[in-house]
Amino acid sequence: MTSTKFSMTPLSISFLKKRKFFIIFLILLLWFFSYFFIPLNISEENASFEIDSGKNLEQITDQLIEMRVLKDSVRFKFFSYLFGKTESLKKGHYQIGKSITPYELLQILANGREMLFSIKFIEGTTFDDLILELKNNEYIKHEITSYTQDNILNLISADEKSAEGIFFPDTYYFYKNTSDIEILRNSYKVMKEKSNYLWDKRDSDLPYKNIYEALIMASIIEKEVGVKDEAPLIAGVFVNRLNINMPLQSDPTVIYGMRHRYDGNIRKTDLVEINSYNTYTQRGLPPSPIATPSLSSIIAALNPTKTDALYFVAKGDRTHQFSATLKEHNRAVREYQRK
């Protein structure tokens, strides 16, 4: 019986060493590149941070390490160089999710996909309310404090005589340090576009000279209406009054004219006071809107319900009783207001 011994030749030993080296190299390569596509598992659900202007890759990486967004600065910097992103990381305020990968983070910083903040302009509020909302938002660059209302109108290229009621109520998104003037300019532009579009589709024979007068009417409707479905009918009443030169007799206009004197009550002396916003003593529309009108109120002002009603009174459930004659109206007042 014979036995065969296996002997390693120098060539086979060299091959095994090379294969072992290749396998180790491949494992290291996979370990190195897999990092870029594995979620970072940040401790916070939505971590936010700010990159200041002038920071280089080294400083940005150190900041992310300090914030515990990154754990491996070497590989992140390597891939930044590999993809040619070292000079393109942008300043800004960013928010990232818990499961973001290093690759996604690099793309966000390179493309400047900053975190968006928001501010809401609410229908029915005044310009003063809107300014206060801007002032209280810490992410906005505040410039308005040094401007008068006339300055603001000029800066947003508005040709209206008042800043009241010319900004569209909506939620606006912006990047950190966007100026309040820029947000107002955008809101004004939205209002112009929407109101002009609706003006072109308005009913015929309306008693408005221009879209601005329609916005004035819409603002009054906004403050009078309790249920949105009644807006066109309330508009119809006011249009009827304008057509026969009858005072609008709208309490919200009186309140607006009283300004800071209003304490929750309207007295008889307030109803006979002579000022341009008192629609009990003045015929026609007041000189400006009295609040920010909603889209539904603008539509109602431009498409009022055809009605013979000239009066309405609150019923106590946010709806109104409408009447065509003073006699009917007085009866409704006795029923709903003097119980």
Angle at CA of residue 296, ends 293 and 301, nearest 5°: 75
Q: Mean pLDDT throughout 108-126? A: 92
pLDDT at residue 103, rounded to an integer: 87
Cα 87 from Cα 242, distance rounded (Å): 65
Mean pLDDT to the nearest integer, 108-134: 93
How much is the pLDDT for 11?
56
Write down the mean pLDDT value for the chain: 89
Q: What is the pLDDT of residue 276?
A: 95
Asked if the model's pLDDT at residue 80 lies above 70, the reply is yes
Compute the average pLDDT of residues 120-145.
95
Radius of gyration of the chain (CA): 34
User: What is the pLDDT at residue 264?
Assistant: 81
What count of other Cβ atoms lies within 10 Å of the Cβ of residue 334? Answer: 11
Convert the pLDDT of each residue in 8-31 to its tens digit: 566 565 655 667 777 776 776 676
Rounded to an integer, what distance in angstroms lies between the CA atom of residue 232 and that of residue 305? 5
Helix (H, G, I), strand (E, B) or coil at 322: strand
Cα 248 to Cα 259: distance, rounded to the nearest angstrom? 19
Task: For residue range 252-310, list pLDDT tens digits in order.
Answer: 999 999 988 888 888 889 899 999 999 999 999 999 999 999 999 999 999 999 999 99
Residue 35 has pLDDT above 80, yes or no: no
Residue 190: predicted pLDDT: 98
C-alpha–C-alpha distance, residues 239 and 59, integer Å: 65
Asked if residue 304 lies in contact with residue 236, where contact means CB atoms within 8 angstroms, the answer is yes
The mean pLDDT of 72-86, rounded to a whole number, is 84
| Range 48-56 average pLDDT | 86
Q: Is 96 helix (H, G, I), strand (E, B) or coil?
A: strand
Quote the CA–CA distance of 201 and 216 in Å, as a whole number: 18
Highest mean pLDDT among 76-80, 84-88, 226-230, 332-336 belongs to 226-230
Out of 3.10.250.10, 3.40.190.170, 3.30.450.20, 3.30.1490.480, the CATH code matching 46-111 is: 3.30.1490.480
The letter for the amino acid at 288 is S
Binning pLDDT at 50, 70 and 90, where does residue 233 land? very high
For residues 169 and 36, give the distance between their C-alpha atoms in angstroms, rounded to a whole number.
Answer: 43
Residue 187 has pLDDT above 60, yes or no: yes
- Considering the chain, what percentage of its residues have pLDDT values greater than 70? 92
Q: Are 121 and 166 in contact (CB under 8 A)?
A: no
> What residue ranges do the domains of the chain occupy?
46-111, 116-197, 204-336
Confirm if 62 and 21 have CB atoms less than 8 A apart: no
